[in-house]
C-alpha cells in the first residue's frame, strides 16, 4: 500500500525548499506503516529566462522595483524560517538561474529512483551554498553527490535528452491548473505554499487514514 505525494516545484523558489523541509519533518513524525512515494513535477516560474540566467541584482531590481525591496523580501523568508534549520545565503547568490537543466537532471535522476534527493540537493545548493545551478560542472557534481556517475550526468546534460519529457510535464502541470509553486498533493488534498509542519502532518494523517480504510 503506497501513499503518493506529488510535488510541483521550481528551484528558484525559496518557499519550495521550505515546503520540502517541513514536509520531511511531518513525514518523520508520523513514521507511517505504509510506503510513501514522492513524485517530483517540474515547473518553471521564469520559462523565458536566458539559458545562462541573469545577474541576480539586476533581475530582482527590475522585477521588484528596487534592490532594497528585493532584500527585504529575502529577509522575510529568513525570518519566517528561523525554526526550519535552513541557512539561506542570499549573500552568496549572484545569478538568478534558468532552471531547465536542473529540472532535466532531476528527471534523469528519477530514472534511478533518485529524483527527490536530487531535487533537494539542488535546492540546498542554490539557496544555502549560493551555487550557480545553470553551470554544467556544478550540476554534474551535485549528481555525483547523490550517487549518479558524474560523467554520465555531464553527458546527459550536454545532450537534449529529457527535454521533451520535462516540457511535457510542465504543460501537464499548467493543464491541471497549477500556476504557482510549491504545489503539493497529498492524497486528495492540495496544499499550496510553504505550509506549517502541522498542516502537512494533518494532511498526511488524513490521506493515510483514507487509504487504509478504503
Cα 187 to Cα 182: distance, rounded to the nearest angstrom:
16
Q: Can you give the pLDDT at residue 34?
A: 81
Kindly report, residue by residue over 49-97, the tens digit of the pLDDT: 999 999 999 999 999 999 999 999 999 999 989 899 899 999 999 999 9
* Measured CA distances, 98 to 139, 173, 191 (Å): 13, 18, 25
CATH of the domain at 41: 3.40.30.10
- Percent residues over pLDDT 70 in the chain: 100
Domain tally for the chain?
A: 1
- pTM, whole model, 2 decimals? 0.95
Average pLDDT in the chain: 95
- Give the angle 109-144-35 at the CA atoms, nearest 5°: 45
> What's the pLDDT band for 33 if we cut at 50, 70, 90?
confident
Domain assignment of residue 155, given as a range = 2-213
Q: Can you give the pLDDT at residue 1?
A: 84
Q: Can you give the pLDDT at residue 184?
A: 98
Amino acid at each position: 500500500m503506497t501513499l503518493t505525494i506529488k510535488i510541483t516545484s521550481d528551484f528558484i523558489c525559496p518557499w519550495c525548499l521550505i515546503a520540502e523541509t517541513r514536509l520531511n519533518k511531518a513525514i518523520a513524525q508520523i513514521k507511517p506503516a505504509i510506503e510513501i512515494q514522492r513524485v517530483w513535477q517540474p515547473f518553471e516560474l521564469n520559462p523565458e529566462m536566458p539559458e545562462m540566467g541573469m545577474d541576480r541584482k539586476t533581475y530582482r531590481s527590475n522585477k521588484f522595483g528596487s534592490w532594497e525591496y528585493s532584500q527585504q523580501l529575502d529577509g522575510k523568508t529568513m525570518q519566517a524560517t528561523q525554526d526550519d534549520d535552513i541557512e539561506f545565503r542570499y549573500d552568496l547568490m549572484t545569478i538568478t538561474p534558468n532552471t531547465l537543466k536542473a529540472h532535466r537532471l532531476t528527471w534523469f535522476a528519477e530514472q534511478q529512483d533518485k529524483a527527490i534527493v536530487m531535487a533537494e540537493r539542488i535546492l540546498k545548493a542554490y539557496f544555502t551554498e549560493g551555487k550557480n545551478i545553470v553551470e554544467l560542472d556544478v550540476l554534474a557534481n551535485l549528481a555525483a553527490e547523490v550517487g549518479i556517475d558524474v560523467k554520465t550526468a555531464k553527458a546527459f546534460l550536454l545532450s537534449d535528452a529529457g527535454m521533451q519529457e520535462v516540457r511535457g510535464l510542465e504543460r501537464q502541470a499548467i493543464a491541471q491548473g497549477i500556476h504557482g509553486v510549491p504545489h503539493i498533493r497529498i492524497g486528495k488534498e492540495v496544499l499550496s505554499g510553504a505550509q506549517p509542519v502541522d498542516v502537512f502532518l494533518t494532511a498526511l494523517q488524513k490521506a493515510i487514514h483514507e487509504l487504509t480504510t478504503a
